[in-house]
Amino acid sequence: MFVKEMKLLIKYGIELDISGLECKVGYKGDALLKFSSSEQDTIQKIEAFCSKADIEYKISYNQAKATTDIFCVFAADTYKLK
């Protein structure tokens, strides 16, 4: 279950220099955490955490806010609806 991994990542991320944190749930039950920071070191630490925990992630630069966003995806083991 991905809830335990999400809690650990949130606890870890809050202690870092982040400027934003969002959590969304998709229609298939998957969850997405988005951390934003202007500090490259913070993004690298979250990236390292995700790599060690085998969490899928994507990094993108938000030019309008001059921040870097890292999206962490937690796939749920659910059935697809027909």
Q: What is the pTM of this model?
A: 0.82
Computed over its alpha carbons, how large is the radius of gyration of the chain?
A: 13
Contact in structure between 69 and 36 (CB atoms under 8 Å): yes
Residue 22 buriedness (CB in 10 A; 0-12 / 13-18 / 19+): exposed
12: amino acid identity, one letter: Y
Contact in structure between 71 and 77 (CB atoms under 8 Å): no
pLDDT, tens only, 10-29: 999 999 999 999 998 877 77
pLDDT, tens only, 26-67: 777 788 999 999 999 999 999 999 999 999 999 999 888 889
Contact in structure between 36 and 65 (CB atoms under 8 Å): yes
